[in-house]
Amino acid sequence: MEVMQAINNRRSIRSYRNEPVSEEVIRTIIEAGIKAPSGKNKQPWEFVVVTGDKRLEMIRVMKQGIRDFKAQYKEVGSAEYTAAIMEQAPVIIFIFNPYGTHPWQEKTILQQSTELVDVQSVGAAIQNMILAATDLGLGSLWICDIIFAYRELCEWFKKDYQMVAALALGYTGETPPMRPRKSIDEVTEWI
């Protein structure tokens, strides 16, 4: 599949078939991720593949985190819905930045700036992964609602550095149409 075809065909998938994904396929997707460019070639990413019983344990931790967040702040956006999607995806890959700090930690201007670079590098890796997944016939969902259970998930993973995102993967159980986009002219200025 050509890159443009993968870009055009990719969708956020929120329904997955109950079919396992082989380790070989998961490795190919991560391999695509680590080939992404990164600021100063720092490769500020670390992947944790969660499958099987561990995935169910992780979902329990995430749901408890979301409940705690809701009790304290009343609002959790779409996090409960996202957790339900994650519950039926056979593979969830978490992406951490081993150089990054937690949101509540104080940062120098230099740290803030380097984290701004790192988050772009991690985004590039995730984009490579979701395009590779499309190419391999898998559906994917880029997930940031994990932030509503940030502390609980970091504790469960025993990570004392930044959790950036999660990626759900699996054989797709739906074929959604392309979601609306702003037009090029709405978002582009030519000077």
Residues at the site binding ligand FMN, with contacts judged by CB under 6 A: 11-12, 78, 82, 141-145, 179
E strands, 12-161, are 46-50, 91-97, 139-143
Residue closer to ligand FMN (CB basis): 109 or 184: 184
* Cβ nearer to ligand FMN, comparing 12 with 28: 12
Smallest separation, CB 16 to ligand FMN (Å): 13
Q: What is the DSSP letter of 173?
A: S
Determine contact, residues 67/83, Cβ cutoff 8 Å.
no
Which lies closer to ligand FMN via its Cβ, residue 23 or residue 176? 176
Smallest distance from the beta carbon of 21 to ligand FMN, in angstroms? 19
| Residue 125 and residue 45 in contact, taking contact as beta carbons nearer than 8 Å | yes
CB of 24 to ligand FMN, least distance (A): 25
105 or 175: CB nearest ligand FMN: 175
Q: Contact, 35 vs 41, CB < 8 A? A: no
Q: How far is CA 83 from CA 77, 116, 136, in A?
A: 12, 27, 25
Contact 169, 91 (CB under 8 A): yes
The distance of closest approach from Cβ of residue 87 to ligand FMN in the complex, given in angstroms and rounded to an integer, is 13
CB nearer to ligand FMN: give 27 or 137.
Answer: 137
Taking the complex as a whole, the smallest distance from the CB of residue 190 to ligand FMN amounts, in Å, to 25
On the CB side of 41, CA atoms within 13 Å amount to: 1
Structure tokens at 114: 């380097």
